Structure formats: C-alpha cells, structure tokens
Amino acid sequence: MESSDPPPPATVSDETITEEIRSLHELALRGSWKSILEKVSAARTFSQLRYPHEHLIFLAFNSVALSKLRRYSEALDDIETSIEDLDSSAYRYEAYPKVYPDKKGSMIPFSIRWLYSLLPSFLNRRQDCIDRLYLLLHFVRTKINGCSSENVEVWKKRENFVLSTIISQHSNQKEFGVCLSLIIDMLTKDGENLELISKLGYVQLQFGDLEGAKESFSKIEQILKKKNDGNASVEMMNLVGRNKALIYMVGKDYVSAVREYDECIERDGSDVVAINNKALCLMYLRDLADSIKVLENSLERVPNVALNETLIVNLCSMYELAYVNHTDIKKTLSNWIARLAPDDFDPACTRI
C-alpha cells in the first residue's frame, strides 16, 4: 500500500467486490458472523481484493466478526498486524492519485479505529484502552473542527458514541466523578443533548443524588416541550418514560414503575429496556407468573430485539425461582434459542 501506481489488472470485477461487500452487510444484520469470517478468508486467500480501501473494508468486517464471537485477541491482532500506524499516509486516498482521483482523507473505516481502542479492555489492558479511547476522542474532535458542514453531524454522533464508550469504561470502575466531569464538559457545548442529560441523571443516581437526577430528567421534559410543543418522537417519549420509571424503582415504588413501562411498551412494542425492567419490577412485587409472561411474550413477538443475554439471564433466574423443574424448561428455551439466535449469542447464559 505504499505505491501510488494502480494495482495490476484483476480477475475479479469491481461489481463482484461491491456485491461481496453488500453480502457482508446483510450477513452482519443477520448476526451471521461465522459466515463473514469465511467470506473474508476466501477473499484474502484467492486475492480477490485489489484496492487498498477493499482490504480495509474486509478487515473491518473480519475484526467486528471476531469481536462478536468473543475472539478479542485475534481481532486486535488482525488490526495491529494489518495496520502499523492508523495515521500513516499509506492509508490516505492521496497516496494513490491514479486509483482515487479527487479523493482525500483517511480510508480507514471508523469501526476499525473504535475496535482498536476498545478491544484492549477485553484483554486485561484497561489503561491501553483508556489511552486509545481518549486519542480517538481527540481525533474525532479534530474532524469536527475541520470538516465541512454536511459531514459535521456525522462526526458529532461519533463524538457522542466515543464519549459514551469512555464513560462506560470509567463507570465500570466506579469512577463516577470522571463520568460526571465528562458529561458536564459535553453539556457546556451541547446543553440540549437529551441523551447526555439522561446519562447525567444516571450518574447522579450512582452518587445517590436522587434530587439531582430528578432535576436532570425534568429538564429533558422541559426541552422536549419547548422543541416539539407536545409532539415528541416515540423514542424521546420513551426516554422520558424510562427515566420516570427508574426514579420510581429507586424509590421502590414498583407499581408506578410498571405503569410507566407499560406506557413505553404501548408506544413501542420493541422497547426491550422497558420490557426487561417491567418484568423485574413485577418480580420485585412477587408476581413471578406475570414477570415470566412479559419476557416470554417479548421473545415471541420481537425475538430479533428481545433475544439478548441480559433478558435471557433474567428469565432463567425467574424460572429457577418459580419452578421445581426449571432445568427442563430452560432446556426447551435453549433449544429454541439455538434455532433463532445469532452466532454471537452466548448459550451459557441459560445456566443449564
């Protein structure tokens, strides 16, 4: 990838590679990560990839697939052995003027940069992860300051995404003061970012600042009312509803929390957070039969979103509390999951 000359003629057409990339996207949407690894391996083995950007796109799919399958070391090795330096000029379109006329900038997919930063956290290299995430945040903010107006919104979304990842890393270590500082800093630049204000409320709850959290959640409602005059999107209305329910849960008013979650589910039947938390509230109210029914119904109605490990762990815990023959019931569930679950689903969460 160091020559500015175009690659030699290839036996595979551009249309074929484009179709292969489209196929990889479809496999990713279905969670068919093993098939993605097979396709990438075949493309590499038979030298189907001609251009630098094609190698990087296939590297991104391969790394994501390995990560989804919890093969974190292999994923990081693939990135680090394929790309010596993320900022190298060898990975810029300008290095290949005959191949990419009039194109400028880095051709490295953002997903590669994010995985390169995050993967060390799964390999007991937390400090490497934190250092790389902050470097990535700096990189994103540099892009925001330098990119054209039509692209700035994309990079702002990436900034929020990276910041959320950093906050999660600090939160996992109970470094809530750092989380609070990061959120407040972002809110000084984007004071009406509802997701950020919501995160602020969650962190305040971690500090035991119930009144502060209530104030933050109330601010979200005020901003929505001002912006939309009562016509907020379902997504934002459910954000408000889940926040209200969370305050009720903290106060152990599970009946009121269930009411709020019911309203969220009525607006959006695939709101898996509301579904899961409603079931937990019913369990706390000692209504195991209804809590189990809530989760089972969600698996029947919206298996594509409800089939996640947290929900299955909770459902199996409820089975263990409710039934003497819970092992047989969990085996039936496990068999059903095996038919529908994506490749990255961990069957061990059923605890059979």
If you write DSSP's letter for every residue of 320-337 in order, what string do you get?
Answer: HHH-TTHHHHHHHHHHHH
pLDDT at 155: 93
pLDDT at 180: 95
196 close to 166: Cβ distance less than 8 angstroms:
no
Around 115, how many Cα atoms within 13 Å sit in the side-chain half-sphere?
A: 27
pTM: 0.88
- Long-range contact list for 118-126, CB < 8 A, 24+ apart? 118/165, 119/67, 119/72, 119/75, 119/76, 119/79, 120/76, 121/169, 122/70, 122/72, 123/72, 123/73, 123/76, 126/169, 126/173
Domain ranges of the chain: 1-109
pLDDT at 11: 42
- Residue 239, both tokens: 């954000």
pLDDT at 147: 76
pLDDT at 350: 94
* Spans of the chain, pLDDT less than 50: 1-12
pLDDT at 226: 87
Q: Which residues have a Cβ under 8 Å from the Cβ of 161 and sit 6 or more positions away? A: 114
Q: What sign for the dihedral angle of Cα 121, 126, 132, 135?
A: positive
pLDDT at 230: 60
